[in-house]
């Protein structure tokens, strides 16, 4: 059901772990829905993301999207990191099954949450960054009735 | 596929070679329609009769009380919908439990939309219904009680005899979904006061696509599939003769070796429960320790999610299942695990291992090691585990 890339990032997750004095940390998701993602960012004075780590409680897709998201933002500037959307994460993973699209949304949201934390700590405003939703849960759609 | 360890026998079982052999003649040799007059047809008819007899005997029922269906789900749909419609004159209230299979629960929801009232009774933390709750739920207009014999996820066996008594005392029809129990546990429909019972072939080393509904003589429920005169006009459609022959053989094997088989599987089960429970921290056994199916093991591992665990086990060739949302196709974890009171995040981390007599201790040892490794890896990845450890270090 998963692409080879997803399986690769699930079995060999990149940047899994914690950072000791992170510039920003973001945790999003909801244990109720079975997904929680935490992203740690280390950002230098030039606004470049030097290091990025993640921890995830969730399914295979959740782990893979977190791993890919950290790969995509590492070495980027804050402005560039903001352009890493869920679509970009999905494309980099060669797609996700439709029921797992919300995992990629979670990854985007986790990065934004970590950036938001960084901005708050440093009392700066990052243009284009909105306060992240802590709790992402898709609305379930009623099945079609016959 | 290379070597694998199959621990998902509640999902389906490997068709026994004896069963396959019993089916083969009815494809290209005795392929006649059982309704035909000529001898070729009578061969098919005889095979159906024989299976019907074996199954009837296994339940202490009459052969004419066994109606073949295309499986357990059809039998459940038939029992509930037809019993509801037949009982309409007396009332429109049905009692069931919160941990039924979707074949029952979704049929109940269908009936609700059509004006029936359903009471879903709770279960205790082991997954067993409380008889007091059942008694309290009974009303004058209750027409049917449907409670599963044994649960497919956590293996809990319900107090079927007492439920049957309550139903009988109140003149209410009693249906039980015995899909997980039939062929694994002794069932006597007379002793247990069962009016309707659903079963499926592929859960007892029989073929898929065949099952039956036991309907007690005298119980008036309408036919479900309309057409020809098959199954005493109650379930039309040319009989699945190879399937029926296979189911008959599977039942024969199951009931002639039941105790021996159950004893063997139960030993494997207890070994697995013991090892997992002792060797993996922060886990819990779901379901009752004693009143459970001989083949069922169900654990929740804190701080991890089930689908990830299944993928890791699959990579080691181990076939298992989980009650996590990701495996159910919705955002909610298994309704059974929620009904026994598990918080969502713990329900997401469940693992079901269901055994057969073909499993070996070596396979189980390999499985325990694989679970340990996978759970360890996933906990290292889990922010919930990180928070838990940090909190502990503070104390």
Told to judge if B319 belongs to the known catalytic residues of this protein, a careful annotator would answer no
Residues of B with Cβ-Cβ distance to A38 under 8 angstroms: 383, 386
Alpha-carbon distance of A64 to A10, in angstroms, equals 5
Q: Is A36 close to B383, i.e. CB distance below 8 A?
A: yes
Please provide the distance, in angstroms rounded to a whole number, between the alpha carbons at the two ends of chain A.
27
B389 touches chain A (CB under 8 A): no
Token digits of residue A104? 């990629």
Helices and strands of chain A, counted as H and E runs: 5, 3
Residue among B345, B380, B381 whose CB faces A31 most closely: B345
- Give the H/E segment covering residue B265: helix B258-279
Check residue B181 and give its pLDDT.
98
Residues of A with Cβ-Cβ distance to B324 under 8 angstroms: 34, 59
Check residue B327 and give its pLDDT.
61
Alpha-carbon distance of B257 to B294, in angstroms, equals 14
- Indicate which of A12, A35, A57 best probes the interface with B, i.e. most B CBs within 10 Å of its own CB: A57
The architecture of the domain spanning B17-256 is 3-Layer(aba) Sandwich (3.40)
Closest CA to A42 of A113, A146, A118: A118
From first to last of its 395 residues, chain B has per-residue pLDDT tens of 578 999 999 999 999 999 999 999 999 999 999 999 999 999 999 999 999 999 999 999 999 999 999 999 999 999 999 999 999 999 999 999 999 999 999 999 999 999 999 999 999 999 999 999 999 999 999 999 999 999 999 999 999 999 999 999 999 999 999 999 999 999 999 999 999 999 999 999 999 999 999 999 999 889 999 999 999 999 999 999 999 999 999 999 999 999 999 999 999 999 999 999 999 999 999 999 999 999 999 999 999 999 999 999 999 999 999 987 666 556 678 999 999 999 998 999 999 999 999 999 999 999 999 999 999 999 999 999 999 999 999 87
Residue B339 CA, chain-centre distance (Å), reads 17
Rg of chain A in Å (alpha carbons): 15
Check residue A140 and give its pLDDT.
38
Q: Is A57 close to B345, i.e. CB distance below 8 A?
A: yes
- Give the H/E segment covering residue B43: helix B39-59
Selecting among B108, B283, B319, B326, the annotated active-site residue is: B326
pLDDT over 50 (residue A77): yes
Please provide the distance, in angstroms rounded to a whole number, between the alpha carbons at the two ends of chain B.
49
Buried b (16+ CB within 10 A) or exposed e, B277-308: eeebeebebbbbeeebbbbbbbbbbbbbbbbb
Q: Is B383 close to A13, i.e. CB distance below 8 A?
A: no
B383 touches chain A (CB under 8 A): yes
Q: Minimal Cα–Cα distance from A129 to chain B, Å? A: 24
Residues of B with Cβ-Cβ distance to A31 under 8 angstroms: 343-345, 348, 384
B239 touches chain A (CB under 8 A): no
- Indicate which of B346, B383, B384, B385 best probes the interface with A, i.e. most A CBs within 10 Å of its own CB: B383
Q: Is A59 close to B326, i.e. CB distance below 8 A?
A: yes
Residue among B325, B331, B382 whose CB faces A55 most closely: B382
Residues of A with Cβ-Cβ distance to B332 under 8 angstroms: 140
Alpha-carbon distance of B3 to B363, in angstroms, equals 11
Query: Do residues B71 and B247 touch, judged by C-beta distance below 8 A?
Result: no
Cβ-based neighbour number of residue A111 at 10 Å: 31
Q: Is B381 close to A56, i.e. CB distance below 8 A?
A: yes
B119 appears as a binding residue in the annotation: no
Question: In this predicted model, what pLDDT tens digit does every residue of A86-144 receive, in sequence order?
Answer: 999 999 999 999 888 888 899 999 999 999 999 999 999 998 898 887 654 443 333 44
Token digits of residue B24? 């083969």
B107 touches chain A (CB under 8 A): no
B142 appears as a binding residue in the annotation: no
B238 appears as a binding residue in the annotation: yes
Rounded to 5 degrees, φ, ψ at A83 are -85, -5
In terms of CA atoms, which chain B residue is nearest residue A35?
Answer: B305
Interface predicted TM-score (ipTM) over 0.85: yes
Alpha-carbon distance of A13 to A52, in angstroms, equals 13
Residues of A with Cβ-Cβ distance to B305 under 8 angstroms: 34-35, 57-59, 62
B315 touches chain A (CB under 8 A): yes
Burial class (CB in 10 A: 0-12, 13-18, 19+), A20: exposed
Residues of B with Cβ-Cβ distance to A58 under 8 angstroms: 305, 308, 326
Selecting among A33, A48, A88, A101, the annotated active-site residue is: A33
Check residue B80 and give its pLDDT.
98
Q: Is A32 close to B345, i.e. CB distance below 8 A?
A: yes
Question: In chain B, which residues fall in CATH 3.40.640.10?
Answer: 17-256
Output the DSSP codes for B51-95.
HHHHHHHHHT--GGGEEEESSHHHHHHHHHHHHHHHHTTT--EEE
**CATH number of the structural domain B258-394:** 3.90.1150.10
Q: Is B308 close to A138, i.e. CB distance below 8 A?
A: no
B324 touches chain A (CB under 8 A): yes
Q: Minimal Cα–Cα distance from A50 to chain B, Å? A: 21
- Complete domains list, chain A, with CATH: 4-122 (3.90.1010.10)
Backbone conformation region of residue A56, classed left if phi is above 0, alpha if psi is from -120 to 50, else beta: beta
Alpha-carbon distance of B236 to A17, in angstroms, equals 61
Check residue A141 and give its pLDDT.
38
Residue among A7, A38, A57 whose CB faces B305 most closely: A57
Closest CA to B127 of B293, B240, B365: B293
- How far lies B148's CA from each of B65, B174, B187, B244, in Å? 19, 10, 13, 23
- Indicate which of A4, A37, A59 best probes the interface with B, i.e. most B CBs within 10 Å of its own CB: A59
Alpha-carbon distance of B104 to B391, in angstroms, equals 43
Check residue B331 and give its pLDDT.
65
- What lies within 8 Å, CB to CB, of B92 at 6+ separation is B84, B115, B116, B117, B141, B143
Query: Do residues A99 and B328 touch, judged by C-beta distance below 8 A?
Result: no
Query: Do residues A85 and A108 touch, judged by C-beta distance below 8 A?
Result: yes
In terms of CA atoms, which chain B residue is nearest residue A99?
Answer: B329
Token digits of residue B183? 């062929």
């Amino acid at each position: 059901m998963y692409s080879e890339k997803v399986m690769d990032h699930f079995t060999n997750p990149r940047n899994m772990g914690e950072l000791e004095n992170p510039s920003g940390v973001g945790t999003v998701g909801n244990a109720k829905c079975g997904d929680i993602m935490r992203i740690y960012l280390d950002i230098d004075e030039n606004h470049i993301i030097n290091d990025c780590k993640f921890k995830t409680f969730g399914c295979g897709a959740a782990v893979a999207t977190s791993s890919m998201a950290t790969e995509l933002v590492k070495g980027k500037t804050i402005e560039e990191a903001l352009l890493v959307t869920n679509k970009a994460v999905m494309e980099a993973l060669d797609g996700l099954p439709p029921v797992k699209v919300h995992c990629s949304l979670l990854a985007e949201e986790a990065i934004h949450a970590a950036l938001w934390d960084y901005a708050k700590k440093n009392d700066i405003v990052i243009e284009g960054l909105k306060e992240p939703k802590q709790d992402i849960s898709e609305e379930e759609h009623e099945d079609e009735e016959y | 596929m290379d070597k694998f360890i199959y621990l998902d026998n509640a999902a389906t079982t490997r068709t026994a070679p004896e069963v396959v052999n019993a089916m083969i003649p009815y494809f290209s040799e005795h392929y006649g329609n059982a309704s035909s007059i000529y001898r070729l047809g009578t061969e098919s008819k005889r095979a159906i009769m024989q299976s019907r007899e074996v199954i009837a005997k296994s339940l202490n029922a009459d052969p004419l009380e066994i109606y073949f269906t295309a499986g357990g789900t059809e039998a459940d749909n038939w029992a509930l919908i037809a019993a509801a419609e037949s009982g309409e004159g007396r009332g429109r209230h049905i009692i069931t439990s919160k941990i039924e299979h979707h074949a029952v629960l979704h049929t109940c929801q269908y009936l609700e939309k059509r004006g029936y009232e359903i009471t879903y009774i709770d279960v205790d933390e082991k997954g067993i219904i409380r008889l007091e709750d059942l008694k309290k739920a009974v009303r004058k207009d209750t027409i049917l009680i449907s409670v599963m014999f044994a649960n497919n996820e956590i293996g809990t066996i319900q107090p079927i005899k007492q439920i049957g008594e309550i139903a009988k005392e109140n003149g209410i029809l009693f249906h039980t979904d015995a899909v997980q129990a039939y062929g694994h546990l002794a069932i006597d429909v007379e002793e247990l006061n069962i009016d309707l019972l659903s079963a499926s072939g592929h859960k007892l080393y029989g073929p898929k696509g065949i099952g039956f509904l036991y309907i007690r003589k005298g119980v008036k429920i309408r036919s479900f599939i309309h057409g020809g005169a098959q199954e005493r006009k109650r379930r039309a459609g040319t009989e699945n003769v190879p399937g029926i022959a296979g189911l008959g053989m599977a039942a024969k094997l199951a009931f002639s070796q039941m105790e021996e088989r159950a004893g063997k599987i139960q030993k494997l089960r207890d070994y697995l429960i013991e090892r997992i429970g002792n060797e993996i921290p922060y886990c819990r056994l779901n379901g009752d320790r004693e009143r459970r199916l001989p083949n069922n093991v169900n654990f929740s591992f804190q701080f991890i999610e089930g689908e990830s665990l299944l993928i890791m086990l699959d990579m080691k060739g181990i076939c298992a299942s989980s009650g996590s949302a990701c495996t159910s196709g919705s955002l909610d974890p298994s309704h059974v695990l929620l009904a026994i009171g598990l918080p969502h995040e713990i329900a997401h981390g469940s693992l079901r291992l269901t055994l057969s007599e073909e499993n070996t201790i070596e396979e189980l040892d390999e499985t325990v090691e694989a679970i340990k490794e996978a759970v360890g890896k996933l906990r290292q990845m889990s922010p919930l585990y990180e928070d838990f450890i940090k909190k502990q270090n503070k104390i």
